[in-house]
Amino acid sequence: MRGIIVFAALSLLLLGCTGNGEQMTCEEYCKTLPHVQCVGHWNISGTYPECTCQYVCETQEQEEPPENVTEEPEQNETTEPEQNETEEPEQNQTGEPGQNETQEDGDDYEPLAETTNKTIGEMMEDVMEDLRTDFYSENSGSFQMDSFTWRRIQENYSAGDIVFDEAPSSDVEFDGTVIDTIKASGYYVFTETEEDWSEAYGFAIFRDAATMLDTYTGTDAFEVWYFSDLSEYELDNCWIYEKVLQRDEGTGAYISTYYFQCETIEEK
C-alpha cells in the first residue's frame, strides 16, 4: 500500500513538470504540430512556450528558380517584337508624315480626316439636306421653311481651292468676328404654323482644320449676321451641335463643316 502511494506521488510530480513546460523544448513542441505534407524541415526559434515554428517544403524552394528563368525569355520574345512591329509602323504612317505636312502649313499637328472630291456646290446641297433631316428627327408637325445660302466662290470650285476672285469674308460675322477662311454658309428657319414659334438650323464651311467656333459646343452661344440683302434674318443664341472634318482630295487642304442650331430668330 505504501509503495502505491509513493508511485502515485512520483507520477504527479512528473506530470506537473511537463504541464508547466519546464522540461519541454521548442523543438519538441513544434514537432507535435501538424504541417503540410511535403519533404522539408522545421525552422524553430524561441524558448518554450514562446516558440516560432515554421515548416519549409524543400520542393517549393527548388521550383522558384525555374519560374524566373522561364518568365524572362517569354517577355523578350513576345512583348518587345510586337512593339517594334506594330507601334513603329503606325507612328510612321500617321504621326511622322503628318508632322512634316503640317509644319509646312504652319500647324503643330495633323488631325485625322476623310478625303473628299466634292465641289462647294455639292457640299452645300448635302449639308442643307442634312439640316432638314436633323430638324425633322427632333420635331413633328407642319412647318414653313425659309432658306438662305451664301458662298464666296463659284459652285464648281472645291472648298479647298485657292480662288482669287472670292466674295469678301466680311459678308458673314460670328459674334461680330470675321473668319477669313470661311467658304460658304446658310440656314433654314422652320416656323410652326399653328403655335407660331421658330427655330433655325444652319451651317458654315471653312478652309481650315479649326476655327473660333470650336469653343461654342457647350453652354456658350453666338450670333450670326449675314450682310447680304437676301438674308431676311439675324440668328442669335446659336451653338455648334456637330463638326465634320475633311481633306480636299486635290489640294490636301482641311475643310471644316460646322452644323449649328439657333433659338432666337429676328427679322432684319
Per-residue pLDDT tens over the stretch 250-266: 999 999 999 999 999 99
**Do 75 and 124 fall into the same domain?**
no
**Between 221 and 85, whose confidence is greater?**
221
Q: Which of 110, 130, 149 is the last residue of a domain?
A: 110
136 with 229, same domain: the answer is yes
When pLDDT is averaged across residues 129-150 and rounded to a whole number, the result is 95
Asked if 105 and 127 sit in the same domain, the reply is: no
Assess whether 238 and 163 both reside in one domain: yes
Between 176 and 108, name the one with better pLDDT: 176
What is the reported pLDDT for 62? 45
For the chain, helix, strand, coil in percent to 5 are: 35, 35, 30
In a domain, 2, yes or no: no
In the listed set 81, 110, 139, which residue is the last one of a domain according to the structure? 110
Q: Is the pLDDT score of 35 beyond 80?
A: no
User: Quick one: pLDDT at residue 204?
Assistant: 98
Cβ-based neighbours of 112, under 8 Å, separated by 6 or more: 94, 245
Q: Are residues 106 and 119 in the same domain?
A: no
**Mind giving me the DSSP string for 75-134?**
HHHHHHHHIIIIIHHHIIIIIHHHHHHHHHHT-S-----EEE--BHHHHHHHHHHHHHHH
pLDDT tens digits, residue range 156-184?
988 888 777 788 999 999 999 999 999 99
Same domain? For 125 and 238 the reply is yes
Tell the residue number behind the cell numbers 438650323, with chain if given: 201
Pick the range with the lowest mean pLDDT from 24-38, 79-93, 118-132, 145-159. Answer: 79-93
> Does 97 lie in the same domain as 218?
no
The predicted model gives 18-33 an average pLDDT of 70
State the CATH number of the domain containing residue 211: 2.40.30
- Provide the domain count of the chain: 2
Closest C-alpha to 159, from 126, 118, 114 = 118
Domain-embedded: residue 1 = no
Residue 5 resides in a domain: no
Q: Hey, what's the cell of 100?
A: 512634316
Does 14 map to a domain?
Answer: no
Q: Is 187 within a domain?
A: yes
For the four alpha carbons of 169, 226, 174 and 177, in that order, the dihedral sign comes to positive
CA distances from 87 to 49, 75, 95, 96 (A): 63, 17, 11, 13
pLDDT of 109: 63
* Within a domain: 10: no
Contact 142, 194 (CB under 8 A): yes
195 with 258, same domain?
yes
Domain identity same for 157 and 231? yes
Q: What is the mean pLDDT of the chain?
A: 78
What's the pTM value of the predicted model, to 2 decimals? 0.59
Domain boundary among 110, 140, 155: 110
Predicted local distance difference test score (pLDDT) of residue 31: 79
Q: Using CA atoms, how far apart are residues 28 and 240, in angstroms rounded to an integer?
A: 83
**Of 129 and 230, which is predicted with more confidence?**
129
Task: Examine the domain organization and report whether 69 and 152 are in the same domain.
Answer: no
Q: Who wins on pLDDT, 8 or 73? A: 73
| Higher per-residue pLDDT: 121 or 160 | 121
- How much is the pLDDT for 249? 93
Residue 66, preceding bond cis, omega within 30 degrees?
A: no
pLDDT above 70 as % of the chain: 72
Q: Which pLDDT value is given to residue 32?
A: 83
| Nearest alpha carbon to residue 51 among 60, 59, 42 | 42
Do 119 and 242 lie in one domain? The reply is: yes
| 93 and 46 part of one domain | yes
Least confident range from 147-161, 203-217, 245-259: namely: 147-161
pLDDT at 23: 63
- Tell me whether residue 9 is in a domain: no
- Parent domain of 44: 22-110
41 inside domain:
yes
